[in-house]
Structure 1
Amino acid sequence: MSTAIHSSYIIPGALYGAAKSIPANPGDFSLRALITPNQLAVLISENKSKKIFQLQPFQFAEHLSKSAWVASINSIIQNEWFFKQEWSIKKIAVFLPDFTLIPRQFYSMETRETFISWNIATDQEDACITDSVDGTDINLIYSSPKQLLWPPHTEIRHSLTVLLRYLLQWHNISRPNNIYTYIQQSSFQLIYFKDRSLHFCNSFNFHSPDDFTYYLLFACKQLNLNPESLTVTFMGEIMRESSLFRLLSRYVHNVEFAQMPTEWQFDKDYTLPGHFFYNLFCI
């Protein structure tokens, strides 16, 4: 395995299930994987019962170059047993920071590269890909490295496409003054619905709790949201004991964690909070 990848013990308690065991009938199971700049997490589940067979995260080394990140992903996909089985369903959601959202009425295949170039510096080594965000009139356009070696017969989506679809379908998005925040190791995504429609969705890089709090409060100001009456729903890599949570709680009184989607079944106690791999459970 690449030296840029660490096995699951980097995330204490995250490994769930029998390591490297293979179901007798892979056709009765599904593979879902979430890829971020910092990790790749794999979820194997039984189709009929939605029982979790295995959850296996791999942590990438910090400060990887783009080429090293791609090489790390390709190494896992080519070498780990998860990606060599004939699962009935194979889905991967990947967070790529170079993306933009546009109304579908203005979208065309001919203009999508122009739209994304307005927001990011394009790379000739990247492919321009479009997801349709279900339940909205919005397309998400993103830039993905062409060197990524995706497994055959696998559905690939941007992780925000998956998360937005799930929130629209299963959450009470009509609740006023509610912001959804998905935390990754060095970035977070901020989502706000208004009048049951997507009103704001953006990603911010941060290096400290102060950075995070500044960006969130600045976004609230732009959206005319009062922090005193605001509810922030956290998902992703954050714990109640963290300095980030404690700092934000000084400014926003109503802070909560998203509950794990209820359709998943576990044979034994799952040691991590349900919000920790939330985007993976949404795939």
Structure 2
Amino acid sequence: MPLLPVPATAILPPSSALPPAPVAQLHDEAFDPSRLGAYHLDILLTEGHCRLTVREAARQKVVVLEDWTLAAASALPALAAGHELLGRAGWAGVRLAVGGGAFTLLPAPLFRPGDEAAYLGLHYTLGATEQALAYALPPGSPAHELVSIFGTEAAVAEWLQATHGPTARLLHHTSALVAGLLHQRGPAAPTRQLYLHLAGPELTLVVLGTQLEFCNVFAISTPEDAVYYTILVMQELGLNPDQDTVTIWGDLTSESAIFTLLRTYVRHLRFGSRPFGLQYSYRLNELAECRHFELFSLAFCD
């Protein structure tokens, strides 16, 4: 199984030290912040952003979506201290996914709890403020025999535990993406397909068939980088850019340079939709369907 780790050079430094600022704050009028126990809080930390949703447990309806600029993941506790939702306890459930390429996938039979740093150390050198954690991929799925080993800022893990307790889950963003893709395609095993997700300077590529065949995060700085990695993975795994469908999600539009260039090399390129099985507030209608797939997909993570 060609599950390739990302070198440490793929981890980009924060682009700015500016204080957090809201990019989007979409709240449905039906959301009742006095009843946090009726909602799930899902958080996604990616390069330069903290994005969150509030999802009503009874109807599985996303009633809040916020997007904040964030200089670094370690700044999350400071953002939460002044935020009306992040720093409050009492949710029905809390899931937090971290971005970046500091991760690898390990066959479950080989995993031994307590050795996370050693496994990750084969591909990535943890910084003085980072720690290694593990998350088992969705059970009963083509990825269920894999464990995700990933690195994150210790301050993030400590804040999550202190604020939201031991039941709050911390995982890598690729685990949320894979969970969402498995949910989206259903129980039947379709033809092998390549899926792309773009979040700022990070391009995540996943190939799913009867099993999870490939999952990796690449650092990109130009549209040419995105095309290079996409075609490289297709060639390495025997996919044909002229015949095989490629589905893409993330921070782009049909007019963006990356999509325009990809379309000249991949004949059957299409945008993905929001995860099925969830409801979405009308407040989210102004957002493109292909955006926030990883964030919404946290709903399918244990």
If the length of structure 1 is used for normalisation, what is the TM-score? 0.87
Partner SS, residue 122 of structure 1:
coil
Aligned to 2:79: 76
Give the number of the structure with larger relative contact order, counting CA–CA contacts within 8 Å between residues 6 or more apart: 2
The offset of 1:235, in angstroms, is: 1.2
**CA-based RMSD:** 2.1
Read off the aligned partner of 1:253 and give its amino acid letter.
R
Q: Does 1:60 align with 2:70?
A: yes
Aligned to 2:3: none
Aligned mate of 1:187, from 194, 202, 207: 202
Aligned to 2:164: 152
Aligned to 1:201: 215
Partner SS, residue 43 of structure 2:
strand
Read off the aligned partner of 1:147 and give its amino acid letter.
A
| Cα distance, 1:94–1:50 mapped onto 2, change above 3 Å | same
Distance 1:253 1:175 in 2: 19
The offset of 1:128, in angstroms, is: 1.3
Read off the aligned partner of 1:241 and give its amino acid letter.
E
Read off the aligned partner of 2:295 and give its amino acid letter.
L
Unaligned runs of 5+ in 1: 9-13, 62-68
- The alignment covers a number of residue pairs equal to 268
Aligned to 2:25: 15
Aligned mate of 1:174, from 184, 189, 208: 189
The question of whether the paired residues in 2 share the 8 Å contact of 1:6 and 1:60 is answered with yes
The offset of 1:161, in angstroms, is: 1.3
Q: Does 1:86 align with 2:90?
A: yes
Aligned mate of 1:49, from 35, 59, 78: 59
Distance 1:111 1:92 in 2: 22
Aligned mate of 2:287, from 269, 272, 275: 272
Distance 1:269 1:170 in 2: 19
Distance 1:266 1:232 in 2: 28
Aligned mate of 2:275, from 256, 261, 266: 261
Greater shift, 197-206 or 228-237, is seen at: 228-237
| Cα distance, 1:26–1:114 mapped onto 2, change above 3 Å | closer
Unaligned runs of 5+ in 2: 1-16
Aligned mate of 1:141, from 127, 143, 149: 149
Distance 1:167 1:71 in 2: 29
The offset of 1:40, in angstroms, is: 0.7
The question of whether the paired residues in 2 share the 8 Å contact of 1:177 and 1:231 is answered with no
The offset of 1:216, in angstroms, is: 1.0
Read off the aligned partner of 2:79 and give its amino acid letter.
I
| Cα distance, 1:268–1:73 mapped onto 2, change above 3 Å | closer
The question of whether the paired residues in 2 share the 8 Å contact of 1:96 and 1:142 is answered with no
Read off the aligned partner of 2:221 and give its amino acid letter.
H
Read off the aligned partner of 1:214 and give its amino acid letter.
Y
Aligned to 1:37: 47
Q: Does 1:251 align with 2:254?
A: no
Aligned to 1:113: 117
Distance 1:155 1:114 in 2: 22
The offset of 1:183, in angstroms, is: 0.4
Read off the aligned partner of 2:111 and give its amino acid letter.
Y
If the length of structure 2 is used for normalisation, what is the TM-score? 0.82
The question of whether the paired residues in 2 share the 8 Å contact of 1:49 and 1:265 is answered with no
Aligned to 1:65: none
The offset of 1:112, in angstroms, is: 3.2
The question of whether the paired residues in 1 share the 8 Å contact of 2:42 and 2:95 is answered with yes
How high is the sequence identity, in percent, across the aligned residues?
20
